[in-house]
Structure 1
Amino acid sequence: MQKPHLIEFPKLGASDIGYISVGEANGLIPFTVERTFWTYFTPESIVRGRHAHHATEQVLIAVAGRIIVTTEMPDGEVQTFVLESPHVGVYVPPNAWHTMQYSHTAVQLVFASTRYDEKDYIRQYENFRQVWGSK
């Protein structure tokens, strides 16, 4: 079972000319990207996410600002990732409950392994614990 982990993308360039980072399927992104979306202007007091997926894998990147991502695995392991660099993302496997809290200036880019399907979401924490057999 995959666990959440940081992915560091190449950071090509220099401070005087700027940078580019690249993510490719079958490279650092461990799945074929079927959907891309981004969030922005989220108030700092709002916690987003609060769900898990049956099948979808994701890579979350803070292309601007700061995002605090907290994951919980079915065995109860909790990890917190602070994303503040646009060349670093976090891999979130399909069985991880996850939440995100943003600085007001944060822009989050998400690469997902599936197209949107409401049936893939586990939106109630109690259901997450039941579905994944947590203690």
Structure 2
Amino acid sequence: MFNSSVFNCNVIDLPKIHNRSGNITPIHGDLDIPFAIKRVYYLYDIPGGENRGGHAHYRLHQLLIAASGSFDVILDDGRMRKTVSLNRPNVGLLITPGIWRDLVNFSSGAVLLVLASEHYDATDYIRDYDEFITLTKRETNK
């Protein structure tokens, strides 16, 4: 379960259909991204200086997209960290299960679009970082 690594979390270039009257990016689950989409939500009106995220998931895969503006995603697998900046609506960040994520540095007017592999399930969340570290160490020592 927690064999995940920050290196399993990849940036995915999404299709971009250009038209002189504007662009469109269609996203098909199990085709453009490696999971079926069961839930879509977005974060917006995030006050300056606020952070979001601060959790990991046991089973959920997500694709994060900066639909507007920009933000940084700090990924943590319990051993390594990496930061990914998102600022284009035709690029997404795939986050696999077992990865702690913090969302920081939101620009004014940023909109974060999230495509999720599962319906909301409160039991899938790990919201305590110390518990997350304990779980990752337990998996490493198996």
With normalisation by structure 1, the TM-score equals: 0.92
Aligned to 1:69: 73
In structure 1, C-alpha distance between the alignment counterparts of 2:112 and 2:47, rounded to whole Å: 13
Q: How many residues align?
A: 133
The answer to whether the aligner puts 1:10 opposite 2:10 as a matched pair is: no
Measure how far apart 1:84 and its partner are: 0.6
Aligned to 1:79: 82
Task: For 1:11, give the aligned amino acid.
Answer: K
Q: Please provide the CA RMSD for this pair.
A: 1.5
Task: For 1:12, give the aligned amino acid.
Answer: I
Structure 1: runs of 5+ lacking an equivalent: none
User: Relative to total residues, which structure has the larger strand share, 1 or 2?
Assistant: 1
User: Relative to total residues, which structure has the larger helix share, 1 or 2?
Assistant: 2
Measure how far apart 1:90 and its partner are: 0.2
Aligned to 1:44: 48
Measure how far apart 1:125 and its partner are: 0.5
From 72, 89, 93, the counterpart of 1:90: 93
Decide whether the 8 Å contact of 1:34 with 1:112 is kept in 2. yes
Decide whether the 8 Å contact of 1:38 with 1:108 is kept in 2. yes
Measure how far apart 1:116 and its partner are: 0.8
Aligned to 1:31: 35
Decide whether the 8 Å contact of 1:40 with 1:106 is kept in 2. yes
Aligned to 2:117: 113
